[in-house]
Amino acid sequence: MTKHTFMYIIGLASVVAVANFAVYRLTPPPSTRVSVSPELLDVGEVTQAPFTGDFSITNQSNLEVTLLEPKTSCTCTKVVIPQQVLPPGGSVQATAEFKGGSNGGDLQTLVLIPYKYSGGTGEISLSTRAKVLPHISLSPKSITIDMDEEKPVEIVCQSNYDPEVSVTQVNCTSSLIDISISKETGSRTKIILTPKSIVGKADSLLSEPAYVSVSTTSKWMPHVRVPLLLKMPVARNSVSLSVHTKGK
């Protein structure tokens, strides 16, 4: 082999290598991205009963994708995915069922769904945000009673889940407060607190801890206790009563 022939072969090999490199660089690897819509589902106000959220899962790659077993948290009861294998460009609707939890407040949940494709794996997430209402709520949370005026004060008991739930009994440990129940339409019940005259009453009656106990037909919150804080001012002409709700 002559020197010129050898140099020609080397040069030709270099051209082929550069061409192949250019083709490789110009041909991107297949996408394996799987998208979820919405990325965060805000369901607004929900009760403590289970609620559902729907998500659209789309295979945006040019490879077949197989969805695997979801990894759920303690607040998620189940995830229903009717189709496990997604062809390129295919979509499926997933429905996740969540529990609101035992307490009210803000709730954020996350479900992870792994998937596999030819040559690799990945993972997507189903995220929700909700404001959980307790099954039974009382409002307002703080009130002030002027004992001299003996004006009734109302507390509203609201069933946020079952309209058939009703208040069965209300008791107060303070002998200075009369209580009556006024049923309204729907799931609302008014608890009316009527202060008695404090003339001639001992100061100890105003300083002792007291509470209102509310019994309901709810299987989730059959009893709700409302602590009462009675304070007697120096002028002895008004009593401050603070109400804070909590489940028993």
Which domains are delineated in the chain?
34-132 (2.60.40.10), 136-247 (2.60.40)
Across the range 84-108, mean pLDDT stands at 85
Lowest-confidence range among 62-66, 85-89, 106-110, 233-237? Answer: 233-237
pLDDT digits (tens, 9 = 90+) for 133-175: 888 888 877 777 766 667 788 888 888 877 788 888 888 888 8
- Tell which residue, 125, 91, 108, has the closest CA to residue 42: 108
Which uninterrupted H or E stretch holds 195?
strand 188-195
Does residue 230 contact residue 174 with C-beta atoms inside 8 Å?
A: yes
Q: Using CA atoms, how far apart are residues 211 and 193, in angstroms rounded to an integer? A: 12
CA angle 198, 182, 189 (to 5 degrees): 110
Q: Judge whether residue 95 has pLDDT over 90.
A: yes
Q: Judge whether residue 67 has pLDDT over 90.
A: yes
Structure-derived torsion over alpha carbons of residues 86, 92, 98, 104, reported in degrees to the nearest 10: 120
The neighbour count for residue 72, using CB atoms within 10 Å, is: 19
Does residue 96 contact residue 103 with C-beta atoms inside 8 Å?
A: no
Q: Record the pTM.
A: 0.57
- Please name the amino acid found at residue 129: R
- Tell which residue, 121, 179, 133, 175, has the closest CA to residue 155: 179
